[in-house]
Amino acid sequence: MKTDRSHALFTRASELLPGGVNSPVRAFKSVGGEPFFAQRAEGAYLFDVDGNRYLDYVGSWGPMIAGHAHPQVLDAVAKVMRDGLSFGVPNALEVTMAEAITSIVPSCEMVRMVNSGTEATLSAIRLARGATGRSRIIKFEGCYHGHGDSFLVKAGSGALTLGLPNSPGVPAALADLTMTLPYNDFDAATTLFDEIGHEVAGLIIEPIVGNANCILPRDGYLQHLRELCTRHGALLIFDEVMTGFRVAPGGAQQRYGIRPDLSTFGKIIGGGMPVGAYGGRRDLMSQIAPSGPIYQAGTLSGNPVAMAAGLATLELIGQPGFHDALERSTHALCDGLEAAAGEAGVAFHTTRAPGMFGLYFREGPVETFADALGSDTARFNRFFHAMLEGGVYLAPSAFEAGFVSSAHGEAEIAATVAAARAAFEQIGRM
């Protein structure tokens, strides 16, 4: 596998960008080695600047649910961009996107477009505090909601990967307003609400944790949180930046039958373009400026090119049977990987939801953050590099979920399992 051009680019980038990257997990620090630099992508595949081809299970970290460079998405973008890239005034596609989100996600009676998932979660928290008159928020160990100050307390994603769960630069006074709970612990949630429930503005959660790998909620857990928030007058906020429109058409809230007060979105609704959104009950969203006093703004929010890409993607995944097929592919991949590990005598467990999965080098089940931390990261790192050599690109961290797209067909999954079989045999001999 050639790496000369990627190495040269990384050398240049390391002099100009912190860590040589514009987002920490891209640097490969937790798995070792140097990142490759992408040249192009198509369907289920990434191609790097050295001409190497990879089966891609990162999918730009979630947006590419219909595969890379889908012709329908590219056509929509090309058509819109000929009329201009940004206007700074309302455009029709913003309205169409709002109609699409509110029709697919019943809990969102109104929605506001922003430019990233981080913007969406920050705005949702500000709204929760402004609407309730309270200051405290609750989050969960290992969950990641962007790089806002309130969220970098026992965070997941890159913060967990790099061993920086509590970031310098976050004022202690602000961190003190963020309470953390262990995910999937019923009693801990009840106890905390009994103690400070009257001070809590909102509880924010990844309903399926995707930033400590992939952890699914225990039966009744999300319902329990809904009941606690209702009882104590706190707002329940679902961070569906990752799960929205992926694990079901209406996201995790549809899959588990929960109606949050507020929801945040991103990734898929931009079709690969920078985007975010938050929405919820009309009485809450009506408090956002200019309708109400809670201020939030964005120069490029509702960008027409991003709206076009997102609407084309939503149209693709709205086809009958799309999510059922995605779920079958996800199960086929995970079952194949577990079988290959078993043949090699390697302790290995997968978790999965439609279109996303987690890989753990340990015996199952994995239901808590502590379980995830019990995975053998050294083995994962060896597996990651063996798979990369075999032409399969997984998330470069033992604490990030993987993604399956509709472009991952039987041939791609079979090729992935074959590469994994060789990787597991190599690991089993060590």
Q: What pLDDT is recorded for position 428? A: 83
Q: Which residues contact 57 (CB under 8 A, 6 or more apart)?
A: 392, 393, 394, 395, 402, 403, 404, 408, 416
- Determine which of 166-180, 303-317, 394-408 has the lowest per-residue pLDDT on average: 166-180
Residue 153 — very low, low, confident or very high, per pLDDT cuts 50/70/90?
low
Alpha helices, H only, 233-270: 251-256
Q: Please tell me the distance from the alpha carbon of residue 222 to that of residue 211, in angstroms, as a whole number.
A: 18
Task: List the catalytic residues.
Answer: 144, 239, 267
- Overall average pLDDT of the 64-87 stretch: 97
Query: What pLDDT sits at residue 165?
Result: 47
Task: Find all residues with CB under 8 Å of 121, minimum gap 6, and list them.
Answer: 145, 146, 148, 151, 204, 237, 239, 241, 264, 278
Question: How much is the pLDDT for 294?
Answer: 97
Over 60: is that where the pLDDT of 21 sits? yes
Q: What's the rounded mean pLDDT across residues 321-349?
A: 98
Predicted confidence at residue 166, as pLDDT, reads 60
pLDDT band at 159 (very low <50, low <70, confident <90, very high): very low
Architecture of domain 4-69+320-428: Alpha-Beta Complex (3.90)
Angle at 273 between CA 129 and CA 202, to 5 degrees: 15
Reported as a pLDDT band with limits 50, 70 and 90, residue 170 is confident
Tokens of 184: 């999937």
What's the mean pLDDT in 129-157?
82
pLDDT > 70: percent of the chain: 96
- Asked if pLDDT for residue 221 goes beyond 60, the answer is yes
410 has pLDDT over 70: yes
Phi then psi for 281, rounded to 5 degrees?
-60, 145
Q: Give the lowest-confidence range in 33-37, 307-311, 323-327, 426-430.
A: 426-430
Quote the CA–CA distance of 194 and 160 in Å, as a whole number.
29
Q: What percent of the chain has pLDDT over 90?
A: 89
Lowest-pLDDT choice from 167-176, 307-316, 321-330, 411-420: 167-176
Q: In whole angstroms, what is the distance from residue 251 CA to residue 270 CA?
A: 15
pLDDT of residue 341: 98
pLDDT given for residue 163 in this prediction: 43
Q: What number is the average pLDDT over the span 4-11? A: 98
For the stretch 341-356, what's the b/e string if a residue is b when 16 or more beta carbons lie within 10 angstroms of its beta carbon?
beebebebbbbbbbbb
How do the domains of the chain map onto residue ranges? 4-69+320-428, 71-317
**pLDDT in the model for residue 250:** 98
pLDDT beyond 70 at 114: yes
pLDDT at 31 over 60: yes
Identical fold, 4-69+320-428 and 71-317: no
String of b and e for 95-129 (b: at least 16 CB within 10 Å)?
eebbebbbebbebbebbbbbbbbbbbbbbbbbbbb
Q: What is the mean pLDDT of residues 389-398?
A: 97
CA distance 156 to 213: 9
Using the predicted structure, report yes or no on whether residue 429 has a pLDDT greater than 80. no
Query: What is the per-residue pLDDT for 90?
Result: 96
Question: Mean per-residue pLDDT for 387-399?
Answer: 97
Look up the CATH architecture of domain 71-317: 3-Layer(aba) Sandwich (3.40)
pLDDT confidence of residue 156: 45
- Determine the average pLDDT of the residues in 126-152: 89
Residue bearing the bigger pLDDT, 248 or 147: 248
Q: 96 pLDDT band (50/70/90 cuts)?
A: very high
pLDDT at 160 over 60: no
Query: Average pLDDT of the chain?
Result: 94
Residue 8 to residue 49: CA distance in whole angstroms:
10
Least confident range from 174-183, 198-207, 385-394, 416-425: namely 174-183
* Alpha-carbon span 334 to 349, nearest angstrom: 9
> What's the mean pLDDT in 96-120?
97
Q: Is the pLDDT of residue 174 over 50?
A: yes
d(CA 241, CA 118): 9
- Which pLDDT score, from 0 to 100, does residue 164 have? 42
Give 172's pLDDT tier (boundaries 50, 70, 90).
confident
